[in-house]
Amino acid sequence: MRLDGIEITWLGHAAFRFRLDDGVTLLIDPFLAGNPLCPPEEKLPHRADAIFVTHGHRDHLGDTASIARSAGATVFSIFEIKRWLMQQGLEDDQTVPLNKGGTVSAPGGVSATFVHAVHSSGIYSEEGTINGGAAGGWVLDFPWGPTVYHAGDTDVFGDMKLIGELWDPDIACLPIGGHFTMDPRSAAKAAGLLGVETVIPMHFGTFPVLAGRPDHLREHGGGTFQVQEMTVGAPEK
């Protein structure tokens, strides 16, 4: 979808690309190579200026390290994931650490805030599960207007109302699959707490267990917000 000079592309699961008119490209949770929903032509990003990571699970941290290496992207994440990325060979100045409540300036003039989520954040590796800090979400405030909240993996929580009051997001990318996150009923409640006009559903259908569907979200929302169902991959020109 296009929104005020931003092309928003869903790459399947929780992975999104925001491409600004000047070409600056931001990725959130780039789980691409192993993502059954990601189109083949999207598995190797041509350009990435920034990557935002919500938590350490493989279906979110995904290809962050390899994309950062190949595209030169700067990675924004909680401190523990930054340390892990440096162990993967990324440079100190290519990995920006922060924690919940922190706001950083990102490419494209975007103001990015790491916010709370109710979820876990282990990083799986051959040595076992590594502490990936805590799971969170991102609020991306684009300087000319729109504010997008990407919830990462989370259950609904009452302080989504605070996120709504503090950041006033226009759009929320919310997980609806259930099982590992909230389901459509809880996501409808989340949309109400956030006060958003538009919800982009995500984290459903990738695997059979993620059974929630946009239609269910629409039913539970009862018309109080718009459900923007995305087609995976680049929009047709």
What whole-number distance in Å separates Cα of residue 110 and Cα of residue 153?
A: 22
**Contact characters 43-82, Ni ion, x per CB under 5 A:** --------------x-------------------------
Measured from the CB atom, the residue of 57 and 213 that comes closer to Ni ion is: 57
Residue 17 binding Ni ion, by CB under 5 A:
no
Measured from the CB atom, the residue of 61 and 230 that comes closer to Ni ion is: 61
Measured from the CB atom, the residue of 202 and 217 that comes closer to Mn ion is: 202
Which residue from 42, 80, 141, 153 is in contact with Ni ion, where contact means CB under 5 A?
153
What whole-number distance in Å separates Cα of residue 103 and Cα of residue 98?
A: 8
Of 31, 20, 8, nearest to 152 by C-alpha is 31
What whole-number distance in Å separates Cα of residue 70 and Cα of residue 67?
A: 5
What whole-number distance in Å separates Cα of residue 82 and Cα of residue 195?
A: 32
Min CB(93)–Ni ion separation in Å: 28
**Contact characters 191-210, Ni ion, x per CB under 5 A:** --------------------
Which residue from 153, 163, 176, 230 is in contact with Mn ion, where contact means CB under 5 A?
153
Min CB(149)–Ni ion separation in Å: 17
Measured from the CB atom, the residue of 136 and 169 that comes closer to Ni ion is: 136
Give the bridge partners for 198, in sequence order. Answer: 171, 226
Instruction: Looking at 133-221, list the stretches that DSSP marks H as alpha helix, in order from N- to C-terminal side.
Output: 160-167, 184-194, 214-221
Buried-exposed string 66-97: b where 16+ CB fall within 10 A, e elsewhere? ebbbebebbbbbbebbbbbbbeeebeeebbbb
What whole-number distance in Å separates Cα of residue 31 and Cα of residue 4?
A: 26
Residue 59 binding Mn ion, by CB under 5 A:
yes
**Contact characters 173-192, Ni ion, x per CB under 5 A:** --------------------
What whole-number distance in Å separates Cα of residue 131 and Cα of residue 109?
A: 31
Task: Give the total of residues touching Mn ion (CB under 5 A).
Answer: 2
The residues of the shown chain that bind Mn ion, judged by CB under 5 A, are 59, 153
The residues of the shown chain that bind Ni ion, judged by CB under 5 A, are 57, 153
